[in-house]
Structure 1
Amino acid sequence: MKPAKIGSVAQGGASKTVDKFTGRIVDSSLEGKDAALKRSGNKPSVIGKKGRPGRRRGARSLGGRYPFLSWLNKLLKSCGLAEATIVERRRRLKRIYKDLLDLQSKGKIETTNPEKMSEKDVGAFVDAMCQKGKKGKDFEHDMTALNTLLKYANNLALESYKNKHASQFRRSMKVNRHPSLSPDEYARILDNADKVETNDWNKMESYAIVILGMATGARHKELREGKLDDLTLTNGNECYHIEHPKGEDTYGQTRDTVVMAACVKFLKRYREKRLAMLARYPDNLYLFPAFRDKLDGKLSTNSITKMVRMVGKECSVEGLDLHKCRRTFGQKLLDEEARIESVSVLMGHATTAMTEKFYCRRKQQQAINDARNLMGNVPSSTVQNSLPDTKNPLIDKKYEMSGYA
């Protein structure tokens, strides 16, 4: 029933009336809008309630149909990680999402929404990964990636579960460093590189990536981002300038590193071929360009990985990757009596502890020779191959490690 009207009030061009019983002023223009809504069958999208305003435009949560992927994309856009790390993290989280969907379809977890996952859901996922045989670094990386995503969504379920079930999250201890290239493997790569035809661009580029990694200790990203002018091969001044180091937005610093003399011959041949291609591709200044997709592009991370594996297969070097080339660079410098502090700087490490623990270490025979030289004794080379590598003290280590004095 419409309110009985006893009078009208004109205000701002709008017609208003006074309710006979309540004495309230009623806007007749609003009555017309309500009537139009009733006739059309439409309903307002947001119904306002007293003291509870409707939802703001753009204030919707990241629920939706695929909340896991929505949170994933938002996290990676704001994380500030290196491009290659973002690609790896996206791949890992998508694989985790696939595992979570499988668990949800079997009724083992209630949701895949990072905001709403409970400790029970997290526990089911951890158990499933353990049953699959996941362990060591792969397991740790999965847990770290998922925990980062959940914490970004203000969910501490995994953190809480980890505190209650610490035994399931014991970190795997890295006992030994991965080996560097043996002298025979090192020589085979250089010999095979000399046999590559200059006109075979794909092979020239593949071998150049591996050999520059061996010659400078540069990381994957530092080779991929390199420009033609960064490589200097002038006699007596051979060096490689690294403008885009690992962690360049945070802790990384640009640096120059030396080029091993044994690698200069092939690198000069590669550089001459690369300079000759500038006439055809003048806009592409990358040291290792990609001409197939974009004329001014650079090689993708996967392309470089495949090229390095091809070189390893051709040279019969098992497990060849750029980390092995990097370790070889550091070990050769130490074998040539370089100081560990200098090697650490050339490799772009913040402390010598990182260099010694994961990459290279002074050999025990060298330590014996140094001691004998100090005592005036002539070092003996007869026991050089019989002694294992030493565990010398880690310099600049902030905490004690078992096995080190």
Structure 2
Amino acid sequence: MRILYLHQHYSGPLGATATRSHAMARALVAAGHHVTIACGQYAGAVTGLAGGFRHGRRDGVLHGIRLVEFAIPCGNHQDFAARTLAFGRFAAATTRLALGSRWDLVIASSTPLTVVVPALVARRMRGTPFVFEIRDPWPELPRAMGAAPPLALAAMEPLATAACRQAAGVVALSEGMAETALARGADPARVSVVPNGCDLDLFGPQVSPWRPDGVAAWEMLAVYAGAHGRANGLDQLLDAAEALLRRGDRRIRLLLVGEGAEKPRLRAEAAARGLSNVTFMDGLPKLRLAALLAGAQAGVQCLAPVPEFAEWTAPNKLMDYLAAGLPVVANLPGRAARLLAAGDGHGPCGIATPPGDAAGLADALVWMADNTALREAMGHAGRAQAQRRWDRRLLAADFVRAVETAAHAPAAAAEMALA
């Protein structure tokens, strides 16, 4: 098949952000399909293409995948208006691409939700089937966070419903996300759950450890590696760090790695509060991040205390921690908490604390500092769970099957699409 994979935030393995679409595209190529990925310029992403842009785009073939990169910058550092403009520009550019060639299938990977526009247009004008990949449910999550104006949320409603109902297949990253698609009228027979997975070759005990300058050998290094945005609720980590200092516990260093709109404020806040046990770093390429996690003693998963996050998120960083064999401290109930508690016969692989409970985060970090052997056992349990349940190669095979099934599925009924 000739497949057009639309993912505005795509990154290859040299970037500092998630590489799921790269892995899924590689699996499709290995299965004999011809894959073109269309993307923009996401902050922290590296496509691997070199040279200048011509007429706003550049093309190339890397790892057997044809890449079309549009000169459309986008990132969490931008305000809502700038991101919305970038989303619209990408939707327009990829609509032309979707209509400019004959494709057997289009994969539209959100977020943003606007990535489904070219897929819907190609279906209507060319009869091209498409797969809707839900990485974050929109508008459900922005509404829960209060992160978008009412008019924007209203505009997303019919778009999300059309995507779920007209897709030949829906691939969701969690059962909770799949439920949002079903609630919008998606055919249950067309909905699959393919979670984020672990790159066991990149992360793990085979990696040489590295610790940044300024991190003492005697400190327990707890790493948060991810976006620094409103949704991440990282003030809770600063509050936990302050609680540790108030207790006189200086054994633990929190290292926050990544980029985002909140990072300058968080840096200033940490300095103003004298949080000598908090260090910030820029985002790291995945290879360098793997070495950092190998040199750390714990991984930290943090999100804002939004109830909907419990089942509607599938953090990639959590998979990286498990693959690296790190015990995890998280502030999430629901899916993440169940994952950390499920040792698959090897015991738990982390501690889940209540959302918004900075003191609970501090307590969990102190427990890990006090219980070295049990902490290391949790890390081994996490690696074992990653090998059995979250190996990305196995999940990529599930993705390929879902895509191939969708390509040969009967067209979605017009009356369902219009309901």
Question: Which structure has the highest strand share of the two?
Answer: 2
Quick check: which has more Rg, 1 or 2?
1
Bigger RCO of structures 1 and 2 (CA < 8 A, at least 6 apart) = 2
TM-score (norm 1): 0.30
Question: Which structure has the highest helix share of the two?
Answer: 1
